[in-house]
Amino acid sequence: MATKANTMPVISKLYCSYSQVVFVARRTPHVVNGGGFAVTNCSQLVVFWVDGCGILGTKGEIVLRDMEGDALLLKHRKGGRVEALSIHKRRKGYTSDYKGTKKLVFTLKEPRSCLAKNDAIRISTEPKRSKNWDFEINGYFPERDCSIIDSVSNIVPLIGVKKEVEEVMASKDLYHVVVKPGTGQDFVFGVIAVLDYIHGESTRC
């Protein structure tokens, strides 16, 4: 039985499609540390790119941009004494309006490996869609084999990140992302950017 697409975008309806879309993410080679990655569509046109902390000059920050270079999403690590006492690390994703006012759109909770190594990475959106969490990472990003599922878990994965070419994947520089119908592509790549940073890859200084 086919699952009906959920067309409620997390960030913007501009980046939702009623059909499945396949993208290719490729690490940008011009910056050695914290450069980021570019995302192309089937026509090999850049749709999104992510600037890492090496470009931004601020540790812990990442920016998702559209094809025009406009910032769609700013992500940074929430620190402080409260987080230091928590078993989770929290990473916040914000949008901003033309005045520069930030608006929280999601919070990603990363378990601290020494205390909660078996816990999944979970994401809560604003406004909240469920009581505890809205999405969960299923699989392992560094192996390029993972997906984002919703809190019901029997719904089809929102994305899949799998190996593109074995020889290229040895350097983790190229992989494809399948975005399901009705899913916000900007949200998907915002989450992938955070996963990339967590695992010390192209966006990490």
C-alpha 148/C-alpha 189 separation (Å) is 11
Report which DSSP code applies to 14.
G
> Whole-prediction pTM value?
0.84
Q: What is the pLDDT along the chain (205 residues), one digit of tens a residue?
A: 344 445 456 778 888 888 889 999 998 866 667 789 999 999 999 999 999 988 888 888 899 999 999 999 888 765 543 333 344 578 888 988 777 788 898 999 887 654 444 578 899 988 776 667 888 898 888 888 888 888 776 454 557 776 655 555 455 688 889 988 888 899 999 999 999 998 888 888 8
Give me the amino acid identity at 168.
V
Domain ranges of the chain: 19-198
Question: How is residue 155 written in tokens?
Answer: 């719904």
CATH code that applies to domain 19-198: 2.40.160.200
Widest distance between CA atoms in the chain? 49
Report which DSSP code applies to 80.
S
